[in-house]
Structure 1
Amino acid sequence: MIRARHPAGTCGRPLPMSSPSFLDAETTNADELTAAISTGFGYRIAPTTRALSHRQHVIVGDPVTVADVEWDTEVRVAVDSTDEVMFVQVHSGAYAFNPWGAEHVIGEGEAFVMPPDQELDFVIDHAYASTCSFSAQVLRRVAGEIWDDEDVCLAEGAVRPVDAARHWLWRRTVQEYRQQVLETPEVYGNELLRAQATRFVVVSAISAFGLVTEPRGGAEESAAVRRATAWVDEHRREPITVQDIAAAARLSTRGLSLAFRRERGQTPMEYVRLARVDGARADLIAGDPTRGDTVTSISADWGFSNAGRFTALYRQTYGETPRRTLMR
């Protein structure tokens, strides 16, 4: 069964839109599934499994669409080539597919991007996921504005997030866009606010998944950011200030902040916090509760004085609690 709520006078994926469209679908029928995916996402698919169970909640915006999708069985799906770029955060189960001619399996807590202009074959195994999508045209336009270059190229081979920090920032950005823009009529109806929020979603995706081959003109600044992140990674257990990072990068503090915003979509200190969370995760994995290792003690070793805030940040980054990691 497919249930849709569209703005007056609209259906499917109309553009422009004064308000988002909401589409809910629940089906065990392959033909209904094909129609639901086409209406909600603009994809043409061909299920090769007749026994299936699928639910989806889709919010179709202009130009960003987000959704929650759930598959209660293992399903094989062939996806036609499209101009759409879709990002998928897997909450449970697994997706196996073949972007760029290589086989990938994406499991719980991981994310991936479906590149445009490729025919893809999926095996979806009892999966629950959230998605975010927009056209490759929007991606190229925003990337061109960032680098002031009309000929930016989409990077080949991009599938997974570049690192945990950018993955976390992308997830938070999409969550905020959904709640504060798509689900807030007064914000969505303001074209300027929606345009700026959309740009941040696209920039976050470019940064998180390494979607664009950066023009040569940006190499010097990228080298500065690489110096900064390498220094932070080496000193992340120590007290760190923005001034320390700027000195390592050989930039002013303002130049450092602008470079991080432009290239990574985050502040320098956000990178520090996530680098420390990554270090804490390694200690949690190696930890042993029978030796007295605790989440509180390990987080404190990494500079987190508030265990509750550490737990929240850790869960947002890795999709599980630090206690669960420690107890494995």
Structure 2
Amino acid sequence: MTLQSGPVYDDCTTCDPETVRRSLEAAFGASVRMEVLLLTAGRFAVSRIDAGPFALTEIRLPGRLSLSVEPSGLLVVSTVHGGRGDLRSGNRHERLRRGDVCLDGRPGEVRDLGAEDLRVSSVVLPLDLVGRAADDASPHRRGPVRFTELVPGGTHMAALRQRTADFARCAVLTAGGVSRLVTAETARLLAATVLVAFPNDLDTSPLAADSVDAGPETLRRAKAFIEGNAQHDITLAHVAAAAYVTPRAVQYAFRRHMDTTPLDYARRVRLDHAHRELRDAVPGGGATVTGIAARWGFAHVGRFAAAYRRVYGVPPRTTLRA
């Protein structure tokens, strides 16, 4: 996946198994071996939206197929919409049916999939993005996160994962890749949701020093960095580096002294910037609520409008027209 100013769309619809195999390799960044066991009526289809820091795919595989996918630098999280799948990764084995959510194998392991009239949608994330989310969540991490299961830890976690994927698709299609803040924030949300939804070995217990470091001076430095860089794609790790403490200490400082989180504070700062831009827009100059919201990292204009009204007492369109 690459950084670009807008999403890149790629669609492949074919009756040729070799063509779809190559499309699967491109979509998942890995070598794919595929054997057709039973070819039925219908066409193979691979649709992909590359949003830069993550990608979204939809795949249709008619008939009965056997696939083997080599390890790659990507993590694939899928939802089954039709057909059946038999997935093996290391010592894990899952039989998948419509509505199931799964990891397409654990990082570093070959994945074997038996597919029968399978239709799935997937979110594809770089492993280093998941690693950065793990760094933010755990002060103890010393190596790659190890996922202990291929399926979420309960139906509520599967639903959370699916809602996040739906939001990501909405963000890409609504914002059109205009704002890198939108795609970057969405990518981090997807990575964090994977860590929450799928059982893993991440240790999130705090370090004793983090509580000591969570003082007013840490808060001051962190706020100054966020306020001075709100227009950029900043992460919790960036804020922590600027405050000379760990990410967990920054989180403690905001919770202790402001009863909020660094992410919520960054959103409030960006909301204030959006308010100023709406207020200062020249009538008839072409500015729109959607465009300004996306520029400041708000992918969903409805949620932006609701947050804006809670803070400023009027809809954003009222400020824009004033």
Aligned counterpart, 2:65: 75
TM-score by length of 1: 0.58
Listed as ranges, the gaps of 5+ residues in structure 1 are 1-12, 219-253, 262-328
Q: Distance in 2 between matches of 1:91 and 1:176?
A: 17
Distance 1:63 1:75 in 2: 30
Alignment RMSD (CA, Å): 2.7
Separation in 2, partners of 1:167, 1:179: 19
Maintained 8 Å contact 1:143/1:152: no
Matched, 1:116 2:107: yes
1:185-241 Cα shifts (integer Å, max 9, x gaps): 45x2222232222111111111111245224438xxxxxxxxxxxxxxxxxxxxxxx
Q: Pairwise mapping of residues 259-298 of structure 1 onto structure 2 (< 5 A)? A: none
Number of the residue aligned with 1:223 = none
Q: TM-score, normalised by structure 2?
A: 0.59
Cα 1:160–1:106, aligned 2, differ >3 Å: closer, same or farther?
A: same
Q: Work out the CA distance in 2 between the residues paired with 1:102 and 1:159.
A: 7
**Cα distance change, pair 109–46 in 1 and its aligned pair in 2 (3 A):** same
1:89 match: 79
Residues 160-202 of structure 1: CA deviation (Å, up to 9, x unaligned): 010111211110111011112x21345x222223222211111
What is the SS of the residue equivalent to 2:36?
A: coil
Q: Which amino acid aligns with 1:135?
A: P
| 1:152 to partner: Cα distance | 5.4
Determine the structure 1 residue equivalent to 2:117. 126
User: Which of 119, 128, 133 is equivalent to 1:137?
Assistant: 128
Instruction: Tell me the CA shift for residue 78 of structure 1.
Output: 1.1
Which of the numbers 15, 22, 31 marks the counterpart of 1:44? 31
Which structure is richer in relative contact order (CA contacts within 8 A, separation 6 or more)? 2
Aligned to 1:179: 170
* AA matched with 1:204: T
The residue that corresponds to 1:194 in the other structure is: 183
Give 1:209's match in structure 2, choosing from 167, 175, 198: 198
User: 1:269-296, CA deviations, whole angstroms, 9 ceiling, x for partnerless residues?
Assistant: xxxxxxxxxxxxxxxxxxxxxxxxxxxx
- Which of 21, 25, 46 is residue 56 of structure 1 equivalent to? 46
- The whole-number CA distance in structure 2 between the counterparts of 1:155 and 1:81 is 14
What do residues 66-90 of structure 1 show as CA deviations (whole Å, max 9, x unaligned)? 1111122111111111121101101
Indicate how the Cα distance of structure 1 residues 43 and 25 shifts in structure 2: closer, same or farther if over 3 A, else same. Answer: same
Task: Give the Cα–Cα distance (whole angstroms) in 1 for the partners of residues 260 and 118 of structure 2.
Answer: 38
Counterpart secondary structure, 2:72: coil
Secondary structure at 2:90 match in 1? helix
1:205-284 to 2 correspondences below 5 Å: 205-217=194-206
Letter matched to residue 68 of structure 1:
E
Amino acid at match of 1:209: F
C-alpha distance in 2, partners of 1:136/1:117? 10
Whole-Å Cα distance in 2 between the matches of residues 48 and 184 of structure 1? 38
Structure 1 counterpart of 2:188, one-letter code: R
Q: Aligned residues, how many?
A: 211
SS of match in other structure, 2:3: coil
2:56 match: 66
**Using the alignment, how far apart are the partners of 2:109 and 2:144 within structure 1?**
16
Q: Which amino acid aligns with 2:8?
A: S
Name the aligned partner's letter for residue 193 of structure 1. Answer: V
The 3-state SS of whatever aligns with 1:121 is strand
TM-superposed deviation, 1:96: 0.5
- Structure 2 equivalent of residue 107 of structure 1: 97
Question: What secondary structure is seen at the aligned counterpart in 2 of 1:173?
Answer: helix
The whole-number CA distance in structure 2 between the counterparts of 1:172 and 1:28 is 32
Distance 1:258 1:91, change over 3 A: farther
4+ residue stretches of structure 1 with deviation over 3 A?
50-53
Q: Unpaired runs of 5+ in structure 2? A: 208-254, 264-322
**1:292 corresponds to:** none
Counterpart position of 1:169: 160
Deviations 1:88-118 (CA, angstroms, capped at 9, x unpaired): 1011211112112232211111111022211
Contact 1:90–1:127, Cα closer than 8 Å, also in 2: yes
**Sequence identity of aligned pairs in percent?**
15
